[in-house]
Amino acid sequence: MITAVLVLLLACGGLYFGLRTSTRTQEWALPSALAIALVAIWDLICRAVGSDVFPTPFVTWLAFIELLESKRLWGDVVASLFRVTWGFFLAAGVGIPLGLVIGWSTRTFRAMNPIVQGLRPISPIAWIPIAILWFGIGDGAGIFLIFLSSFFPITVGTTAAVRNISLVHQRSARNFGVRGLELFRRVVLPAAMPQIITSLRIALGVAWLVIVAAEMVGMDSGLGYLINDARNAGSRYDLVVATMILIGLIGIVLDLLIRRLERFDEVRWGYVQR
Amino acid sequence: MTDKRSNPGRPKVVLEGLTKTFETKGDPLLVLDNIDLTVGEGEFVCLLGPSGCGKSTVLNIAGGFEAPTNGSAHIDGEPVTAPDPRRVFVFQEYGIFPWASVWDNVVLGIRNLSRDRQHEIAKEVIDLVGLNGFEQSYPMELSGGMKQRVEVARALAVSPDVLFMDEPFGALDSLTRLTMRAELIRIWEERRPTILFVTHDVDEAVQLAERVVVLSARPGRIADIVTVDLPHPRDLGSAEYGRAKNRLYELLGVSHKI
């Protein structure tokens, strides 16, 4: 109890002094101090309420170590990542070309956009029964669900990117006689690329959200299944919270990885303020 | 390189009875009303007028990006139906491709020539606009004036015989604008393309053009054509220069005494 209060006070002091330091120090000092403060508050609330089901930060830490040492964790991580990777790449492989065509051809846009917009609001979670019906319990259903949840952001984002290509760039291309496939390669695709990358990033975020839900409902492996399993097998809420934190950390890593795409010279122009 | 010296007697761009209406929600909007204009080969003509007078529309029609509602545009005696790499449009700085390096932008119009030829021409035009050393830079790393130079270099690479320039220096600061005008005149004197230059800046028009076509406010009609009979480099303090300016301000109906 006293330790938690002390930590909280220290963290608040850290926040206070962090505000006075240089911008570069603030970038890591402020969020770290705030995170420590939040963990201390979490600890204090646990003790104040006196629940023996909900884990304190320390118990969660122990569970985290237990998870890392257990053999099954890596199997579950790999299962989740496997489904997300395949579903995501399939969705990008279909969604980017489709979005380019829908965005470029007004007729295709008229024909397909209403259908895409109509299917898009259906939560991928709602597809779980159908996914299991078609693919059974296992990777197939997971990949299918991730495909669905990534496909719409990628297709819609790519479509919008192409429709946003500036008139001046289109005219420059026409002026210099760029047409046909060359127009796609030299103008349409590069002009749309920054926004396509943004849509990939959104799609991967959604995919990581959906896979956990899908594994909780309809699969027998993966991080979502691990959460369900921990709760069902003796209310191990310490394992539940530890897994949640791990899911968050992996999500951050995935986002950092995909953001590397934004650094290429050919797309950097799309992310600066104009 | 072929001799591009002007042949002023020969009409290059001929606009006859150009009329343009835009369909809006209410009544059709008359933007251009019966524009007749002949630009001679190698001539530098400015289209000057207030915002919204349709001067860019004249350029878009001559460049083949828009069709007139009535009337016709001919270049070298042939009707203009579509954009053509022999006549290049120079936009404000945003016309170049931000995803391509300076070099790749410049060779856009000559991409189908042999590698050696591309190198030769690109080097020459990059040299001409003073961008040596920036070949591998991306537009976002360049200042506004330098981006405009890329745009001009890209246009010059195809050795166009007509340049359509739509307020090309509008986004630049006033000092850079002056430099760019001097550069443009230098390049024009060296290569003698026919230039149709749209601006709403009286000074710019008097500094650059041999003839200034003044358009009235919407619907755009030709109010008058003012000949600026001054050799380059022009003395911006001369009486002749002042007279031309005064005449243009008068035609635009703007007070020039503040």
Q: Which residue of A has its CA nearest to B164?
A: A175
φ, ψ dihedrals at B72, nearest 5°? -150, 160
Are A233 and A172 in contact, with CB atoms under 8 Å apart? no
Contact (CB<8Å) A171/B83: yes
Q: Does pTM top 0.90 for this prediction?
A: no
Q: What is the pLDDT of residue B9?
A: 67
- Portion 189-218 of B in contact with A at CB < 8 A: none
Q: How do the domains of chain A map onto residue ranges?
A: 2-50, 68-271
Which residues from chain A sit within 8 angstroms of residue B99, using beta carbons? Answer: 190-191, 193, 266-267, 269
CB contact under 8 A, B97 and A187: yes
Q: Homologous superfamily of B1-86+161-258 in CATH?
A: P-loop containing nucleotide triphosphate hydrolases (3.40.50.300)
Q: Which residue has tokens 């109906």?
A: B253
Query: And the tokens for A16?
Result: 């206070």
What pLDDT sits at residue B6? 47
Domain ranges of chain B: 1-86+161-258, 96-159
How much of chain A, in percent, has pLDDT values that exceed 90?
A: 65
| Least confident residue range of A270-274, B36-40, B179-183 | A270-274
Cβ contacts of B89 on chain A, cutoff 8 Å = 171-172, 175
The yes-or-no verdict on residue B93 having pLDDT over 70 is no
Q: Return the pLDDT at B258.
A: 62
- Say if A49 is an interface residue toward chain B (CB within 8 Å): no
Which residue is closest to B65 within chain A, CA to CA?
A171
Residues 75-134 (B) with a CB less than 8 A from some CB of A: 82-85, 88-89, 91-92, 94-101, 108-109
pLDDT band of residue B177 (cuts 50, 70, 90) is confident
Check A171 against B91: CB less than 8 A apart: yes
State the complex-level ipTM. Answer: 0.84
Q: What is the pLDDT of residues B5-40, one digit of tens each?
A: 445 568 889 999 888 888 877 788 888 888 899 999
Q: What is the CATH number of domain A68-271?
A: 1.10.3720.10
Q: Which amino acid is at A216?
A: M
Judge contact between B15 and B45, C-beta under 8 A.
no
Residue corresponding to tokens 């030829």: B117
End-to-end C-alpha distance for chain A, whole angstroms: 52
pLDDT tens by residue, A230-257: 888 878 899 999 999 999 999 999 999 9
The residue-averaged pLDDT of A124-137 equals 91
Long-range contacts of A107-110 (CB under 8 A, 24+ apart): A109/A159, A109/A163
How open is the CA angle A108-A110-A113, to the nearest 5 degrees? 85
What residues of B are in contact with residue A196 (Cβ under 8 Å)? Answer: none
CB pair distance less than 8 Å for A269 and B83: no
Task: Label residue B230 by pLDDT band (50, 70, 90).
Answer: confident
Torsion of CA B151, B154, B155, B160, to 10 degrees: 170
Express each pLDDT in B117-147 by its tens digit. Answer: 999 999 988 988 888 899 999 999 998 888 9
The distance in angstroms from the start CA to the end CA of chain B is 49
